[in-house]
Amino acid sequence: MFTRRSFAGRLGLGAAAVRLLPEMAYAQRAAVNLSGMAKDMVWLNANENPAGPPEAALAAMREVLPTSNRYHYQEFGAMYAIIARSEELEPDQLIVGAGSSEGLHLVVDTYTSATRPLISVAPAYEGPIETARALGRPVVLAKLREDYTADVRKLAEEADKARGGLIYLCNPNNPTSAITARKDMDWLVANLPGNTTLLVDEAYIHFGETPELQSALPYVRQGKNVIVTRTYSKIYGMAGLRVGFAAARPDIIQKLMPLRMNVISIVSARAVVAALGDQQNLLRERRARLAHTRRELCDWLSGRKVKFIPPHANFMMIDVNRSAREFIEAMPRMGVAVGRPFPPLENLLRVTIGTDQEMAKFRDVFWKLYKG
Ligand SMILES: Cc1ncc(COP(=O)(O)O)c(C=O)c1O
């Protein structure tokens, strides 16, 4: 196994490039070794959306491809305006980047320091945590509560102890698929210690159905010390196009702007603009389809007395009653790729909700292994 530095060394990267490595390391970890794998593999390992890009986005991409010799810089103002309007924000409250990963990276770089830690829960999505570690910033991870939700009082306490920090909450959380309920989020925002910023990663927010799950964007509109990241990789089905954004007060956005990479690809920009043309229908239909398939899997597991964390995203964690690593290794050989290990939740297996047909294959393979 490579350490991050030896990996950088092999690639011939200098110290500055090590800043890029968290995302690269993440891509490595998400990748499944394809040698000897089934050609008809069902991919339930990376919380992608089998529905893919909407038709309008595909048409827009085909149309722009022949003119991709140009930078198209002049179009990005309009793209910012369209994305902002779609979330009831102003363009100066946004920074658009390569997936939500770019926004997360910029926020961690800007709002943590040698004395100002990144504070989160274990386990949470690793991206921002790895960025903080690669930058040499302290990381504090609080235990989840018994019901797998974040203990917001503990997070505030840690920020207070450090005299400020960046609290990172993913809502719904990856990998648990559990939510931070509205009342907890309200409490946290109202009780943020001094010198503390709250970063809420809403990559999966569209998949939730409970009214307890609310976006943190209203806090941004109210001018709080809150930054929200969103992505077009999940419900919009465009992970490979790499588009997402961070939303925050204009003064926060101004701090992030100088560090951003550049504009995104014009092909991706046009795809997002086209997808937003029918945003409400797209979100409603995809949420309903996902919820139906997710409910079927939950019912199937309950019928077999297999425990799981009640899910609110397009993935869920199943208690396999022994080390999940056994399933993670064996299932791809049987044609189903599932999530990576998420210590300290050793017995929990993360599976992405795919199509009904894909989930039928998942159930078949899972049950063979589970029964032993
Ligand atoms: C919680 C969470 N945030 C952010 C990301 C990054 O995704 P992207 O850069 O494609 O927006 C992921 C990827 O799976 C994720 O699970």
pTM of the model: 0.92
Q: Is 229 helix (H, G, I), strand (E, B) or coil?
A: strand
Which among 120, 125, 202, 235 is the best mutation to test ligand 1's pocket, defined by most ligand atoms within 8 Å of the CB? Answer: 125
Q: How far does the centroid of ligand 1 lie from the alpha carbon of residue 303, in Å? A: 32
pLDDT in tens, 123-182: 999 999 999 999 999 999 999 999 999 999 999 999 999 999 999 999 999 999 999 999
Q: What is the atom index within ligand 1 of the atom nearest the CA of 102? A: 9
Cα four-point dihedral sign 32, 310, 217, 143: negative
Tell me which residue of 123, 107, 78 sits closest to 165, measured CA to CA: 107
Cβ–ligand 1 distance for 44 under 6 Å, the answer no
Confidence of residue 372 (pLDDT cuts 50, 70, 90): confident
Which two three-digit tokens encode residue 293?
């398939």
Atom of ligand 1 nearest to the CA of 244: 11
Q: What would the mean pLDDT of 280-285 be, rounded to a whole number?
A: 98
Who's near 161: CB < 8 A, 6+ residues apart? none
| Percent of the chain topping pLDDT 90 | 89
Per-residue pLDDT tens over the stretch 120-131 = 999 999 999 999
End-to-end CA distance of the chain: 30
> pLDDT by residue (tens digit) across 35-57?
667 778 999 999 999 999 999 99
Task: Give residue 11's pLDDT.
Answer: 36
Cβ of 174 below 6 Å from ligand 1: yes
The SS3 call for residue 296 is helix
Residue nearest to atom 12 of ligand 1 (CA): 203
Do 268 and 238 form a contact (C-beta atoms < 8 A)? yes
Percent of the chain with pLDDT over 70: 90
- Spatial CB neighbours of 29, under 8 Å, sequence gap ≥ 6: 126, 340
User: For 171-225, how does the pLDDT look when each residue is reduced to its tens digit (9 = 90+)?
Assistant: 999 999 999 999 999 999 999 999 999 999 999 999 999 999 999 999 999 999 9
Query: How many whole angstroms from 101 Cα to the centroid of ligand 1?
Result: 6
Q: Are 333 and 37 in contact, with CB atoms under 8 Å apart?
A: yes
User: Which residues are within 8 A (CB) of 21 and not within 5 positions of it... i.e. 6 or more apart?
Assistant: 4, 7, 8, 13, 134
Ligand 1: centre distance to CA 304 (Å): 32
DSSP-derived letter for residue 234 is S
Average pLDDT of the chain? 92
